[in-house]
Amino acid sequence: MKSILLMPVKNEEWIIGSTLEYMHDLFDHIIISDQESTDNTIETTKKFSNITYLKNTRKLHSNIVRWELLENSRRLFGNNNLIACIDADELIPKKLYLNQMKNILKEPPGTVFYSSWVQLWRSINQYRNDNSVWNPKKNIKEFMFIDNGSMNYERTETINDHTTRIPNLGVENKKKLNFPLLHLQFVNWERSQLKQVWYMCNEKVAGNNSEDINSKYINSQNENNIKLSRTKKKWLSDYLVDEEILKLDRFSEWYVKEIDELFSKHGVEEFLELNIWHLEKINDLRQTY
């Protein structure tokens, strides 16, 4: 049995170097599907020898990339492997994972593993822990499975990939892990907010209703009644990252560029009902039209 990491990426230079530096040796092989990154995402990962690269030429962020990653994993390495579906801005706590590895590998093919999905918030040293949807006691993520060769995704394309990241058909068993999956998206706050706007604009262009879009993304913007707890040391032992890097504006500029292209192509009026105008950079774009 091999351990394989499947990861879709697009312009993840800001974080992928540190997350893969931390996790790459947990896996026998890593398959990355790159959606035409314009930054140094791929160059940053080339120091790791156990990576296979796929090309994703789709314009929109779609769940089809998950299907392709699984198909290529099976083509390259067969079935009955332990497969983790982790995004570039996520971390598996290394020591906690290794401590549970023997129990994980005892499970039969067809088993799905899930953890609390912890949102590190504006810093790697704190996480969201309130009554919002981000409370880790109720916010879980299925992200790893032992492939039996017949598990599959429900093949309905969804823009922005807010669907299950692991196969949901043919699952035989589910197991909760005793460590969290750490999500670093909201550490770089400005980037995270521009990312939500980028998602929202793309969904509007795809024909989705403005009210539905606003409702879908409000939880990633809303900090009302926020409560933060200190990140547990055992979650991030040996993980090193320069927090200044996580604040640099240049990692979010490509979002601004692509949003500008959508405004130019479809007209700003198309997006007026979206809750996106609280961001200074988006309002600045609006003034140019």
> What tokens appear for 184 in the block?
């670093």
pLDDT of 160 higher than 80: no
**pLDDT at residue 124, rounded to an integer:** 93
**pLDDT at residue 178, rounded to an integer:** 95
**pLDDT at residue 159, rounded to an integer:** 78
> What tokens appear for 225 in the block?
């009644």
Burial 272-286 (b: 16+ CB within 10 A, else e): eebbbeebebbeebe
Mean pLDDT of 57-68: 89
pLDDT of 238 higher than 90: no
What digits encode the pLDDT tens for the residues 63-90?
999 999 999 999 999 999 999 999 999 9
Give me the amino acid identity at 158: T
Contact 162, 221 (CB under 8 A): no
| Separation CA 53–CA 42 (nearest Å) | 9
**pLDDT at residue 5, rounded to an integer:** 98
| Separation CA 145–CA 166 (nearest Å) | 7
Mean pLDDT of 137-148: 96
Q: Where in the chain is the domain with CATH 3.90.550?
A: 3-183
| Separation CA 14–CA 248 (nearest Å) | 9
For the domain made up of 3-183, the CATH class stated in words is alpha beta
Mean pLDDT of 265-275: 97
pLDDT of 161 higher than 70: no
**pLDDT at residue 179, rounded to an integer:** 97
Overall pTM > 0.75? yes
> What tokens appear for 215 in the block?
């409702």
**pLDDT at residue 251, rounded to an integer:** 85
